[in-house]
Amino acid sequence: MRLLLLACLRARTGNATTAARIQTHLQAAGHSCVLKDAFLYESPAEISNLTCTDKFDAALAIHLYKGGRLLQGSKIPFGIIFGGTDVNEDVKCKEKRQVMGAVLEEARFAVAFTVEMKELAAAEWPDARKKIHVQSQGIKTTPSETFDWYRFLQNAGIPTDTGTLHLFLLVCGLRRVKDPLYLVEVFSDWHRKDPSVHLGIIGPAVDPLFTSEVKEKVKRAPGVHILQELPQEELHAAVRACFALVNSSSSEGMSAAILEAMDLAVPVLARNIPGNAAIIKHKETGLLFSTPQEFIALSKSLMNDPIMEKEIITKAKDYVKKHHSWEGERKTYQNLVLRLQ
């Protein structure tokens, strides 16, 4: 089949990474899968023209609203993949909720990353329950073996000659829902008392106006750094070398960065929100915090308890291997897409 896959494809974001992974899965089964950025299109009519002109047999979209709305009334069959903002944010808007319900009604199948996400969707659109499949994100990390960690730190202005360094890495697109400023103030206060701790924020400038706000705040926060974006293999290498990965989002679907850190044997400290709590069991596979002050307390306990750190790393890696199989994800999408024939 010749398949169209619509997603928000801004480089180095979770959506783009997920779309590329699904494309790889489908092409491995002999299909032709073409990625298109949903942001480049405004109406279903444009996509209808595209599918006719380029002779697509079927389509997939990530996000019921951002991508799925463009497939409404489609002349070709399609499947849909939930994004976190669908059930966490967009559902609060009456107009968007109606559009998403209509998209679900037309879709041959839908995919949710977690049981919790499926239940939220099924509560909103009960008639769609039977067509929603749960398939967690498949994880395969590929850290670069030639990445120069020390040069990376030096370029960021992080001292490498002061003995122990505890670099906490916050990987996220710079937009409000990821809330990268949530920990900046308390972390900077902690750094003043303990110069060994640093917080690095790394990710694409998704919202230019908000990015300027983040940069201004960080300028006045010793120990907190905006780090240069990296290609995926180098980012995996940077995560592997840091002390811990941090997630401070106010809303998440399923954070690939958290799962990748688990796979790379790096402890995770994540904000206690439903999307994060669905993949982290507190003090077993990671640490969940509800306030900035709790983040500091848990970080200190992690630094001072190497036995707990090792147990968390081991259990987290086992969890990813068991529940986030890349091969399992491949098989699911290859089977589901047959419903579009």
**Tens of pLDDT, residues 203-233:** 988 899 999 999 999 999 999 999 999 999 9
pLDDT at 17: 84
| CATH number among 1.10.3430.10, 3.40.50.2000, 3.90.650.10, 1.10.10.10, domain 2-138+325-340 | 3.40.50.2000
Quote the tokens at residue 325.
Answer: 């199989």
User: 3-state class of 297 per DSSP?
Assistant: helix
What CATH number labels 149-323? 3.40.50.2000
User: 3-state class of 162 per DSSP?
Assistant: coil
Quote the tokens at residue 270.
Answer: 């994540």
Q: What is the pTM of this model?
A: 0.85
Q: 72-108, pLDDT tens digit by residue? A: 999 899 999 998 788 878 888 999 999 999 999 999 9
> What average pLDDT is seen over the chain?
94
CA distances from 287 to 173, 224, 296, 306 (A): 22, 21, 11, 14
3-state secondary structure 203-238: CCCCCHHHHHHHHHHHHCCCCEEEECCCCHHHHHHH
pLDDT at 162: 66
Quote the tokens at residue 121.
Answer: 């969707």
Above 70 in pLDDT, residue 186? yes
Task: Tell me the sheet residues that pair with 206.
Answer: none
Is it true that 2-138+325-340 and 149-323 share their CATH fold?
A: yes
Higher pLDDT, 323 or 15: 323
Q: How far apart are CA 277 and CA 271, in angstroms?
A: 8
Task: Produce one character per residue of 206-242: b if its CB has 16 or more CB atoms within 10 Å, e if not.
Answer: bbeebbeebeebbeebebbbbbeebebebbbbbbbbb
Lowest mean pLDDT among 7-16, 32-41, 282-291: 7-16
Which sequence spans correspond to the domains of the chain? 2-138+325-340, 149-323
Which stretch of DSSP H or E encloses residue 318?
helix 306-323
Task: Provide the strand spans (E) within the chain.
Answer: 2-7, 32-37, 58-62, 78-81, 110-112, 132-134, 166-171, 197-202, 224-227, 244-247, 268-271, 287-289
User: 3-state class of 152 per DSSP?
Assistant: helix
pLDDT at 90: 86
Lowest mean pLDDT among 91-100, 155-164, 279-288, 322-331: 155-164
pLDDT at 275: 87
> Which DSSP string do the residues of 231-293 spell out, in sequence order?
-HHHHHHHHHHSSEEEE--S--S--HHHHHHHHTT--EEEE--HHHHTT--BTTTBEEESSHH
Q: How far apart are CA 87 and CA 63, in angstroms?
A: 10
Report yes or no: 286 and 259 within 8 Å, Cβ to Cβ. Answer: no
Which stretch of DSSP H or E encloses residue 310?
helix 306-323
